[in-house]
């Protein structure tokens, strides 16, 4: 009998907690919402969601010690999923309303879409758009049973630009081809909202839960 993985959703005051929690529960996980850094060690996996601005988010995470706890969790080879702002916070630096250092778990920057009058680029990038799945071996786990060029739901004005291209799991075109998700062994992150992306999003979350089953509490 498979034991359901225990997954913690981190509440740092800027996350879409309810919809993420319900979606993961539908995918077979046991979900708790936590806000204390010392609680993280009790879980197989953590999810960092997020809606809002980079600077206040990273400030809260650093002030509460969540940054140290998240890095320790990853060093213990446990699963992590960052969603939207929670994905951007993984990066070295963001240029949203100034220059701000991130968690630096992923080397790279968070940059703003530049409006182009000829292309009538609307910011924020909001609504359904396609994902192009890469040949990254971990992308095959993240997107198992997902067909290439499926549509997922986005709401964002900034995009992530990783230094290492081989960690990119999907790209999406919005005037430019940008990194819409990454996958590196136990670290997954997506700019789109899987919890709002219908059956495709649930498939991605099921793949996350399935991989979490390989990680035991305390490892």
Q: Residue 17 pLDDT more than 50?
A: yes
Task: For residue range 110-149, list pLDDT tens digits in order.
Answer: 999 987 655 678 899 999 999 999 999 999 999 999 999 9
Task: For residue range 24-72, list pLDDT tens digits in order.
Answer: 999 999 999 999 999 999 999 999 998 889 999 999 999 999 999 999 9
Kindly report which listed range (89-93, 135-139, 178-182) carries the lowest average pLDDT score.
135-139
Residues 97 and 53 sit within 8 Å (Cβ to Cβ):
yes
pTM score: 0.94
Q: How far apart are the two ends of the chain, measured CA to CA in Å?
A: 20
Q: Please give the residue that has the higher pLDDT: either 1 or 160.
A: 160
The number of distinct structural domains making up the chain is 1
Residues 77 and 71 sit within 8 Å (Cβ to Cβ):
no
Residue 177: left if φ>0, alpha if ψ -120 to 50, beta else—which one?
beta
Q: Residue 108 pLDDT more than 50?
A: yes
Q: Quote the pLDDT of residue 15.
A: 75
Q: Is residue 133 part of a domain?
A: yes
Residues 76 and 219 sit within 8 Å (Cβ to Cβ):
yes
Q: Which of 100, 125, 156, 193 is catalytic?
A: 193
Q: Active-site residue 179, yes or no?
A: no
Q: Is residue 217 part of a domain?
A: no
Q: Quote the pLDDT of residue 119.
A: 62
Q: Is residue 95 part of a domain?
A: yes
Q: Residue 218 pLDDT more than 50?
A: no
Q: Is residue 1 part of a domain?
A: no
Q: Active-site residue 213, yes or no?
A: no
Q: Quote the pLDDT of residue 3.
A: 75
Q: Quote the pLDDT of residue 86.
A: 97
CA quadruple 119, 163, 206, 44: dihedral, nearest 10: -150
Q: Is residue 219 part of a domain?
A: no
Domain holding 122: CATH number? Answer: 3.40.50.880
Q: Residue 99 pLDDT more than 70?
A: yes
Q: Is residue 193 part of a domain?
A: yes
Q: Which of 27, 84, 160, 190 is catalytic?
A: 84
Task: Calculate mean pLDDT across residues 170-183.
Answer: 96
Q: 3-state SS of the chain: helix, strand, coil percent to 5?
A: 30, 30, 35
Q: Quote the pLDDT of residue 217.
A: 40
Q: Active-site residue 125, yes or no?
A: no
Q: Which of 27, 179, 195, 212 is catalytic?
A: 195
Residues 50 and 57 sit within 8 Å (Cβ to Cβ):
yes
Q: Quote the pLDDT of residue 121.
A: 82
Q: Is residue 218 part of a domain?
A: no
41 lies in which domain range?
6-212
b vs e for 50-75, b when ≥16 Cβ sit within 10 Å of the residue's Cβ? bbebbeebbeebeebebbebbeebbe
Q: Is residue 166 part of a domain?
A: yes
How far apart are alpha carbons 182 and 8 in whole angstroms? 20
């Amino acid at each position: 009998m498979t034991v359901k993985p225990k997954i913690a959703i981190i509440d740092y005051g800027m996350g879409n907690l309810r919809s993420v929690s319900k979606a993961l529960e539908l995918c077979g996980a046991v979900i708790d919402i936590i806000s204390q850094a010392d609680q993280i060690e009790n879980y197989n996996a953590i999810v960092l969601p997020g809606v809002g601005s980079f600077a206040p988010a990273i400030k809260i995470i650093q002030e509460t010690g969540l940054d140290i706890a998240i890095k320790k969790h990853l060093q213990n080879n446990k699963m992590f999923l960052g969603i939207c702002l929670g994905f951007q916070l993984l990066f070295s630096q963001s240029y949203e309303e100034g220059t701000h250092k991130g968690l630096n778990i992923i080397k790279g920057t968070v940059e703003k879409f530049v409006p182009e009058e000829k292309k009538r680029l609307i910011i924020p990038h909001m609504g359904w758009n396609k994902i192009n799945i890469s040949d990254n071996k971990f992308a095959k786990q993240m997107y198992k049973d997902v067909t290439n060029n499926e549509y997922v739901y986005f709401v964002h004005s900034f995009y992530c630009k990783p230094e290492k291209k081989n960690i990119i799991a999907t790209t999406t075109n919005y005037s430019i081809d940008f990194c819409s998700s990454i996958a590196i062994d136990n670290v997954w992150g997506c700019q789109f909202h899987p919890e709002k992306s219908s059956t495709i999003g649930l498939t991605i979350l099921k793949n996350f839960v399935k991989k979490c089953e390989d990680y035991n509490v305390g490892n």
